[in-house]
Amino acid sequence: MTLKHDLIAIVISLLIALAVAGVMWGWWRSPIPVFLVFTPVLHGMMLGAALMGLFDRLGVRSRLRRVAIPLVAGCVSVVSLALAQYVSDAHDYRRQARQPMAAMLQAPDAPGAPDTRTSALHDYDRNLLQPVTGHTGIVGYLRLQNRAAWRAWVRFIETLLVIGIPTALCVYAGRGGWGADGRGADGWGAGNVPHG
């Protein structure tokens, strides 16, 4: 596999990771319930199936590439989903906290009206995350979401599922998976071993 194929596989994998994160964010924003373990399993399965198909189509046989690329894509997907949740929660917070006051005052420049000079993220950080968690940005958001110890452990397990499932699917399934003799072209189970 050439460097060009590697770069294509990496770029498309990252785009797939962002697309799957977008689908999961849409589900999270919808009225459909989000389940503690099922949702990240589905997230990982969607990402893994898409990457497995991509790798088979591009002929990615190296076990190292089939491990490294899904690991990175899984991390990107998890971080992208968390950032999307943070931004959408910030906009929800601003809408819920400030628009009723502005409507009541009916004057855009009256005290208490939404300040158009600051962003929703700045308001969210300053008015909620900083006072409650002592942190701002995505760190403050994750601390707010994981205030209970059990919730932090659940999020950790969910993260491992979203990263581990696609990696396992890409390594052990598809045309680049273990051959008949358990080895691949690169000596690490990566090749397309002909069957007899």
User: Which is more confident, 184 or 121?
Assistant: 121
**Global pTM?**
0.75
Q: What integer pLDDT is reported at residue 123 of this predicted model?
A: 85
Say whether pLDDT at 32 is over 60. yes
Query: Tokens 């319930």 belong to which residue?
Result: 33
Instruction: Tell me what pLDDT residue 166 has.
Output: 95
pLDDT of residue 192: 44
Tens of pLDDT, residues 135-156:
988 888 888 888 888 888 988 9
Q: Examine the pLDDT at 106 and tell me if it is beyond 70.
A: no
Mean pLDDT of 34-59: 91
